[in-house]
Amino acid sequence: MSSFLFLQISSLHKHISDIVEVAAMCGVNIVCFQEAWTMPFAFCTREKLPWTEFAESAEDGITTKFCQELAKKHNMVIVSPILERDSVHGDTLWNTAVIISNTGAVMGKTRKNHIPRVGDFNESSYYMEGNTGHRVFQTAFGRIAVNICYGRHHPLNWLMYSVNGAEIIFNPSATIGELSESLWPIEARNAAIANHCFTCSINRVGTEHFKNEFTSGDGKKAHHDFGHFYGSSYVSAPDGSRSPGLSRVSDGLLVAEMDLNLCRQTSDKWNFKMTGRYEMYADELTKATQMDFKPNIVQE
């Protein structure tokens, strides 16, 4: 890692440290940062350098060590989404969230299950779909999962985290207004209702400009930026209620109090999991993935 990149990451560490300090004053037990929080969201450019130099080990990289110190200092669980470099498997890159216990220990990591191929989002030039499944982490403050960014568009992705016992599902994202802002207030809120859990939608803020122009293959002229990352982070509850959203234009800290009893209370009321026909869905989905699949369409 170059000295310039190290300086940039260190500056972000200082910025986040100040925010976490305030979170601790507010009594926060679990904090989640935005997707790939230590770097520009440069995956539009298809350029490998210098952006791949931001990749770190999930287990003992400088950002994980930084988060371990913060977590232990403040007795706080930290969800840290980073660009991961897996040196054990050929220096492969992944879009990963690292979960740090309130004791400062690394509990584990979970990787982005769904990779977008839409508009400027050229992420598969850097990393592919994750291979960690739908891990849920039993923390001192509840069972949590991380559905990274584009996974929020896939209802079955939310479902599988819930099936594995998640009470809170974080959705760290980096998404822009023109593409997804109309969907943003709806998807995670619907997921909270459908899965009897809390969901936390986290988005970055601002417009990031890149030196070299890039194109998206959509016929538009080459350009230097993704568009505006519109922030608007919010929390949804299993009963359909939600918090106000954070700003569209500036950083912020959203503190929400969650009564995890509401997960069971809502489940007892609506019984979505009890009435869900999972065995039927599993059977039909298995058939639908076969080469000889024929849709079940009845004709006259």
For 64-112, how does the pLDDT look when each residue is reduced to its tens digit (9 = 90+)? 999 999 999 999 999 999 999 999 999 999 999 999 999 999 999 999 9
Q: Is the separation of the CB atoms in 216 and 120 below 8 Å?
A: yes
For 168-222, how does the pLDDT look when each residue is reduced to its tens digit (9 = 90+)? 999 999 999 988 999 999 999 999 999 999 999 999 999 999 999 998 877 789 9
- Confidence (pLDDT) at 139: 98
The pair of three-digit structure tokens given for residue 189, joined into one six-digit string: 């809120």
Q: Is the separation of the CB atoms in 151 and 170 below 8 Å?
A: no
Backbone angles phi, psi at 230, to 5 degrees: -95, 10
Any idea what DSSP says for residue 221? P
Q: What percent of the chain has pLDDT over 90?
A: 90
For 41-50, how does the pLDDT look when each residue is reduced to its tens digit (9 = 90+)? 999 888 999 9
The pair of three-digit structure tokens given for residue 290, joined into one six-digit string: 């076969």
- Confidence (pLDDT) at 179: 87
Which of 172, 179, 197, 176 shows the shortest CA–CA distance to 261?
Answer: 197
**Rounded to an integer, what distance in angstroms lies between the CA atom of residue 272 and that of residue 196?**
8
**Rounded to an integer, what distance in angstroms lies between the CA atom of residue 201 and that of residue 188?**
7
Tokens 């803020």 appear where?
205
For 218-259, how does the pLDDT look when each residue is reduced to its tens digit (9 = 90+)? 778 999 998 999 999 999 999 999 999 999 999 999 999 999
User: What are the residue numbers of the active site?
Assistant: 35, 112, 149
Q: What is the average pLDDT across 146-166?
A: 98
Which of 130, 102, 107, 105 shows the shortest CA–CA distance to 35?
Answer: 130
Across the chain, what does the average pLDDT equal?
96
- Confidence (pLDDT) at 68: 98
Domains present along the chain, CATH in parentheses:
3-259 (3.60.110.10)
**Rounded to an integer, what distance in angstroms lies between the CA atom of residue 282 and that of residue 156?**
11
Q: pLDDT class for 1, splitting at 50, 70, 90?
A: low
